[in-house]
Structure 1
Amino acid sequence: MSEPLRTGAERTWDGERELDRAVNEIEGFLLWEAEKDRARTRAEAFCAALPWLTDTQRQDVAVRYCQDQHEISRAYLERIAARSASLRTEYEGVYRVLRRRLVTACVSATTVLVALVTVAAAGLTR
């Protein structure tokens, strides 16, 4: 039996990732269905501009138009996904470098401050 979904502070990291994945899948499904609807609408508009087509020809053109649009959309989305993944990797690297620099600056500033306080304390005790 599966573990019940926890909320708030009880929710585990894996549970959150699983939920995020499920939401992404649902969102992707809905976006793809919307894209299919747009392709169908564009196909119908395209066929409406060709009044000499018979009903059978109109259906064939609409189906082919939708297939072409699906292929174009899929290729476009795959390029976007690949680019998003490369940007994420790049930005994560930049973030790590910036975080390392910030930690180094804070440690350095703290060291300098401690040294100054030590020197000032030593000067006051003389």
Structure 2
Amino acid sequence: MTRGSHEVPYGNPRHALADEAEGYLLAHVHIDQARREAEELCAGMPWLTAAQAEELAGHYVRRRLDVTRQLLHGTVRRAEELRQEYESRYAGLRLALLRRHAACACALLAGAGTVSALAVLLTR
């Protein structure tokens, strides 16, 4: 699913419509599942009037969707935290690797310079 501003944070913008459609379909799957659960709950309470069963089912569906929404928001928040942690760690590892390569290059240049200087001194 995409964010509220319809930006595509990590993916290709061409896939935004597909992501939006997938989110829409997933939302309807959750709604249908909540309705089925509400119907099963009401079926287990035969003493309820039709209006009471309808009210209970509506309340159940709303509450179930609120819980699902909270869980999804928590998952998205945690995924963002992990992404930031991994990006930070990756940047640190990349910097360390760059420093090591720079140190190796400097050592190679110093060694080549030393060998070159020794070769010049020995040939004189």
Same fold (TM over 0.5): yes
> How high is the sequence identity, in percent, across the aligned residues?
31
Give the letter aligned to residue 115 of structure 2. Answer: A
User: Which deviates more from structure 2 when the two are superposed, residues 61-70 or residues 114-123?
Assistant: 114-123
Structure 1 position 102 matched with structure 2 position 70 = no
Question: Bigger radius of gyration, 1 or 2?
Answer: 2
Backbone CA RMSD of aligned residues: 2.1
Q: CA deviation at 1:58?
A: 2.1
Give the whole-Å Cα distance in 1 for the aligned partners of 2:101 and 2:13: 36
* Equivalent-residue separation in structure 2 for 1:96 and 1:74 (angstroms): 33
CA distance in 1 between counterparts of 2:15 and 2:98 reads: 30
Question: Of 27, 42, 46, which residue of structure 2 is paired with 1:47?
Answer: 42
Deviation at 1:71?
1.3
- Match among 15, 21, 25 for residue 26 of structure 1: 21
Q: What are the superposed Cα offsets for residues 59-80 of structure 1, whole Å, 9 maximum, x if unpaired? A: 2211111011111111222222
Task: Extract unaligned runs of 5+ from structure 1.
Answer: 1-15
Structure 2: runs of 5 or more not aligned: 1-10
Q: Which whole-Å deviations, capped at 9, do the CAs of 1:43-72 have from their partners, x for residues lacking one?
A: 122122222223332222111110111111
1:122 aligned partner, one-letter code = A
State the distance in 1 between where 2:101 and 2:53 align: 69
Counterpart in the other structure of 2:86? 91
